[in-house]
Amino acid sequence: MPHQRFHRRIKERESDTPEARRDGGSLLEEISELIGLQVYTNGGVFLGNVNNVVVDVENGQVDGLFVQETNPLLVEGSRAVSVPYRWIQSVGDIVVLRYFPKRVSVKKAPTLK
């Protein structure tokens, strides 16, 4: 299942018609299929599981994937990350990223005096 399928524009109510529901469902159903998928770097390192999908509601397109409980080898403190859509190489039984930093560090917020 190629990832382009999740990045198409939402047409006004077209995917919510009875015909669309009979013929495979709406974009919302397709997006929900991403939830729970395992995410791997292009080097085969497990990042985490998709917990949510970041959608640009105005433009009706997927902006990225939200991954919680990330691999501590990749993300400091296993913090949650939002993976930009442009970093995704493919989507099928798993998500494979074309790019992910070698290590994501968390910067501390400045303290107020």
Q: Tokens for 96?
A: 């494979």
Run of H or E residues at 81: strand 81-84
How many whole angstroms separate alpha carbon 3 and alpha carbon 20? 20
pLDDT at 108: 66
Contact in structure between 18 and 33 (CB atoms under 8 Å): no
Q: Is the model's pTM score more than 0.75?
A: no
pLDDT one-digit tens code per residue, 14-36: 444 444 444 445 667 778 899 99
Phi and psi at 62, nearest 5°, equal -75, 125
Residue 109 has pLDDT above 90, yes or no: no
Q: Higher confidence at residue 78 or residue 22?
A: 78
36-67 per-position pLDDT tens digit? 999 999 999 999 999 999 988 888 788 999 99
Higher model confidence: residue 83 or residue 102?
A: 83
Q: Read off the pLDDT of each residue in 92-96 and give the average, rounded to a whole number.
A: 95
**Per-residue confidence (pLDDT) for residue 64, from 0 to 100:** 94
What per-residue confidence (pLDDT) applies to 61? Answer: 82
Domains present along the chain, CATH in parentheses: 3-97 (2.30.30.240)
